[in-house]
Structure 1
Amino acid sequence: MVSKKIVAVVMVVGAFAAGAYYGGSQKAPVITNSSAGASYSGGYDKSADSDAKKSSKKSAVKQRTEVGETHVVNDGETIMAAVQAAKPGDTIQVMPGTYHETVYVDKDDIRIIGVIKEGKRATLDGKGVLNDAFLYSGNNFVVENFFITKYKGNGVMGQAGNNFEIRNNIIEDTGVYGIFPQLGKNGIVEYNVISGIEDAAIYVGMSDNIHVAYNDVFANVAGIEIENSRHAIVENNNVYNNTGGILAFITPGLPIKTTYDVIIRNNFIYNNNHKNFGAPGSMVGSIPAGTGILIMASDDVVVEDNIITGNKTTGILITDHANAPGVTIDPESDPNPDGVKILNNLMYNNGYDTIDEVKALMLTEFKQGEPDIVRVGVTNDSCIINRHRYVSVGVNGWAECEFTNTDAIDSYLLDEPVPPRVIDPSERGKVVYNGVCAGCHTYTGRMIGPPVQIIQALYMDNPQGVADFIASPTKKRDDYPEMPPQNYLDEKTRLAVAEYMLAQKK
């Protein structure tokens, strides 16, 4: 929810200089044909990326030139046993049945395929006890065709694995996240159906070159979230009955400080009015129900050709960090959403039951009606076309965009998969901290878990104590959920990440 302190400010501004807070008066309508203008070229230059190599193929996972062994897992057996037996290049086929386990993949080039037979899928059931269904840290990883339910943490979580494809899974009630690639590069998340998640159904964290498409996400706090990530396309998704539909965020206090070059296009974003059931005090826990798209502090976000309707607070909400509740300012993160670009979208019946703070903002511009677009705080170099089609507040001073579509950009996936990640032993603690711990902990602010500063104060010069807690945690505070055990990490790795965490200063 927009913070109450801004309400007092804008009421004063509205009384003395209506509209000046937002940088100008209403401009005369300019009608733009979206198919006739220039196309956006994006902010990603493949020639400057050492991981990008030219190829005619388009896939996140490297194409195999040799067929490895196929391991078949039947009901009553374990998937993890097949993973342990597999070698890079192998495929694991899982037959229909119910499997109560966590599958951890730390090998490269492993594909785990659920076999669908007479409409029945392989089911991973955490029974409300296990934390994660799939964890992967290997490169060139594929998981598809599973039904995943009743886990406490994540359905599928990536921990610094590059080149991944997560598709055609049904995920219900898996705790914090449904699909969560963290610190990865070059990945596809597509054709998944995800519901009942208390944070984000699809959460792309600190990752690059990601394609999120053709997913069905509903009855979650957040439908799709692009957080502290770059070069992402979110398109052709069906996003409804969440608290917030699609989010592009910068979360302060994380190791990667930016979100930019995100295209949100051709999505159905409707009726995202679900009651917020996120963890109290968390960032998503403060999203007002009825938010279609939320852009917070992210740069160069393009919103194009979406159908956005029935979201009771507003269709698109754009805010800086200063006006977002519960956000701890990070001096190394730019707090403003600069270069936002709103192209043609079909928006109607949004803002029909908006919050009081938005009503107060509308008074500053003497606006009436149901707001499709709301912008609060500071933004620079943002633009919009066909603004006369929308009821908006805060965009009067925005320029007309110099382009009208993103047709020139098909995908931000790399032409060739990223080379295998090689982790120097001295970097083990850092990589695990960024790939695992930063999914729930920032340095100063609150996420799912407490800030790192609090952990440092509790353990100070006791890294072994942190390592032991990582393996076998207990609930210490009523205002935070119980941390799941990370005992799949070996003892040396747990100690390395504990030492790295206690040494952090920002």
Structure 2
Amino acid sequence: MKKCHIAYLACTAALVGTAVGAAPPVHHRTLHVVHPGESVQKAVDAAKPGDTVLLTPGTYRESVSLTTSGVTLRGTGPRTVLRPAPVTTTKKAANSCAAAGHGICVTGTKDRKVERVTIAGLTVSGFTKHGVYAVDTDRLTVRRVTAEKNGVWGIATEASTRGVYRDNTARDNGDAGLFLANTVTAEQGATDTRGTVVARNRLEGNRIGVTVRRLRNLSVDRNHFTGNCAGVFVVGDENKPKAGLVTVRGNRIVDNNKSCPKTARLDALQGSGIVLTGAEDSLVTRNVITGNAGASPLSGGIVLFKSIVGAASERNRISDNVLRDNAPADLVNADTGQGNTFERNDCRASRPTGLC
């Protein structure tokens, strides 16, 4: 019995060995440590799924392109800073991310998304376009990132699902602090984000704090907005499926009174707390919205407004919010859409009257 048992184990071990031999080698997670003056891109290119690229404190003058799933790019806090490479007349941009004017790019394809990438614990500042820009990603996490003084968007994603954007600071960017969209290059229906979360971020001094454009099924939760031209924009249009199923909950939206000029897509902005335009089936609840005042058609505490192409907002529920000192009113319904409801809001003035 013992001999047979040993022989059986030997045969089993041989079979297992054959199977293991046929499988790819197991990758042990590696920490790639980068110091100022060394190439971040070189470390990212060497990283495999499961690896972490750690940037020690200091300033790194380059853009970083990341296309490998499962990689973490992490700094040690605000003192880890990514800035544009010095402008020279003889040296071309190191990669397409730099050539486009972005700081960090996470890029997949329509058929093969980049999955489970994490960007954390660093500052991205001074890029001509976007600080962090992600396209075709799934389960991207951006946390404890400061995106400041970038030309267009601080942190932005397109065609991405199940993202988590938490505990970031986006300030003084040219357009949105956080921008989430289906695509900006084509007309198409809203993308189901499958539960993307925007939570506990601080948005200040941007044109718009958070823009959610032509997306469905996500939450904007417990963020702080101040000093922007507008706090939150949920934007849809006539494409199908329509933008919506967005929950805007528990945010503090105070004194967003910066003045921004008109653009090709939007009227001048000032004093907008939360704006829903061309969206459906969304919930705006338990927000504190105070001191947002302006003379724009989009000014006010919570505003429902038809989209740029005239698409109505429908079946949205505005409930249990606290609103004070917003002008021209705490609640503004300038939309002709059907089924929008205003319930149990603590406010003092509305247009039309009777919404408080």
TM, length-normalised to structure 1:
0.56
Give the Å deviation of 1:394. 3.8
Selected match of 2:319 from 330, 338, 343: 343
Alignment-mate amino acid for residue 132 of structure 1: H
Q: Contact between 1:149 and 1:173, CA under 8 Å: does it hold in 2? A: yes
Distance 1:252 1:93, change over 3 A: farther
Selected match of 2:279 from 286, 294, 298: 298
Q: Contact between 2:155 and 2:178, CA under 8 Å: does it hold in 1? A: yes
* Structure having the larger proportion of residues in strand: 2
**Corresponding residue of 1:150:** 126
**Corresponding residue of 2:260:** 276
* Structure having the larger proportion of residues in helix: 1
Selected match of 1:77 from 17, 29, 38: 38
Residues 457-472 of structure 1 correspond to what in structure 2 (within 5 A)? none
Alignment-mate amino acid for residue 135 of structure 1: C
Which structure has the larger Rg over C-alpha atoms? Answer: 2
Distance 1:317 1:268, change over 3 A: same
Alignment-mate amino acid for residue 133 of structure 1: G
Selected match of 1:224 from 206, 210, 234: 210
Q: Could you say what secondary structure the match of 1:83 adopts?
A: helix
**Corresponding residue of 2:105:** 135
Residues 333-482 of structure 1 correspond to what in structure 2 (within 5 A)? 335-351=311-327, 354=328, 371-386=329-344, 389-394=347-352
Alignment-mate amino acid for residue 98 of structure 1: T
Distance in structure 1 (CA, Å) of the matches to 2:342 and 2:303: 14
Q: Contact between 2:204 and 2:227, CA under 8 Å: does it hold in 1? A: yes
4+ runs deviating over 6 angstroms: none
**Corresponding residue of 1:102:** 63
**Corresponding residue of 2:12:** none
Distance in structure 1 (CA, Å) of the matches to 2:28 and 2:171: 35
**Corresponding residue of 1:461:** none
Cα-to-partner distance string for 1:26-56 (whole Å, 9 max, x where unaligned): xxxxxxxxxxxxxxxxxxxxxxxxxxxxxxx
Percentage identity across aligned positions?
A: 23
**Corresponding residue of 1:449:** none
Q: Contact between 1:128 and 1:150, CA under 8 Å: does it hold in 2? A: no
Is the aligned partner of 1:205 residue 2:205?
no
Distance in structure 2 (CA, Å) of the matches to 1:201 and 1:382: 28
Cα-to-partner distance string for 1:435-481 (whole Å, 9 max, x where unaligned): xxxxxxxxxxxxxxxxxxxxxxxxxxxxxxxxxxxxxxxxxxxxxxx
Give the Å deviation of 1:99. 1.0
Give the Å deviation of 1:377. 2.9
Residues 239-318 of structure 1 correspond to what in structure 2 (within 5 A)? 239-250=225-236, 258-276=242-260, 281-284=263-266, 286-312=267-293, 313-318=299-304
Distance 1:67 1:310, change over 3 A: farther
Give the Å deviation of 1:204. 1.0
Alignment-mate amino acid for residue 347 of structure 1: L
Distance in structure 2 (CA, Å) of the matches to 1:273 and 1:315: 11
Residues 30-49 of structure 1 correspond to what in structure 2 (within 5 A)? none
Q: Contact between 1:127 and 1:150, CA under 8 Å: does it hold in 2? A: no
Distance in structure 1 (CA, Å) of the matches to 2:268 and 2:218: 22
Q: Could you say what secondary structure the match of 1:81 adopts?
A: helix
- The answer for unaligned runs of 5 or more in structure 1 is 1-64, 322-326, 330-334, 355-370, 401-506
Distance 1:210 1:282, change over 3 A: farther
Distance 1:192 1:84, change over 3 A: same
Distance in structure 2 (CA, Å) of the matches to 1:270 and 1:388: 16
**Corresponding residue of 2:6:** none
Distance 1:128 1:389, change over 3 A: farther
**Corresponding residue of 2:50:** 89
Distance in structure 1 (CA, Å) of the matches to 2:333 and 2:198: 25
Q: Contact between 1:169 and 1:192, CA under 8 Å: does it hold in 2? A: yes
Distance in structure 1 (CA, Å) of the matches to 2:257 and 2:292: 6
Q: Could you say what secondary structure the match of 1:80 adopts?
A: helix
Distance in structure 2 (CA, Å) of the matches to 1:257 and 1:281: 26
Distance 1:287 1:317, change over 3 A: farther
Distance 1:77 1:385, change over 3 A: same
Distance 1:387 1:95, change over 3 A: closer
Q: Could you say what secondary structure the match of 2:128 adopts?
A: coil
Q: Could you say what secondary structure the match of 1:300 adopts?
A: coil
**Corresponding residue of 1:405:** none
Q: Could you say what secondary structure the match of 1:82 adopts?
A: helix
Give the Å deviation of 1:386. 2.5
Q: Could you say what secondary structure the match of 1:299 adopts?
A: coil
Q: Contact between 2:61 and 2:86, CA under 8 Å: does it hold in 1? A: no
Distance in structure 1 (CA, Å) of the matches to 2:119 and 2:42: 16
Give the Å deviation of 1:170. 1.2
Q: Contact between 1:227 and 1:251, CA under 8 Å: does it hold in 2? A: no
Q: Contact between 2:33 and 2:53, CA under 8 Å: does it hold in 1? A: yes
Distance in structure 2 (CA, Å) of the matches to 1:236 and 1:128: 38
Q: Could you say what secondary structure the match of 1:177 adopts?
A: coil
Distance 1:103 1:251, change over 3 A: farther
Distance in structure 2 (CA, Å) of the matches to 1:193 and 1:123: 14
Number of residue pairs matched by the alignment: 298
Distance 1:388 1:106, change over 3 A: closer
Q: Could you say what secondary structure the match of 1:145 adopts?
A: strand
Distance 1:387 1:238, change over 3 A: closer
Q: Could you say what secondary structure the match of 2:282 adopts?
A: strand
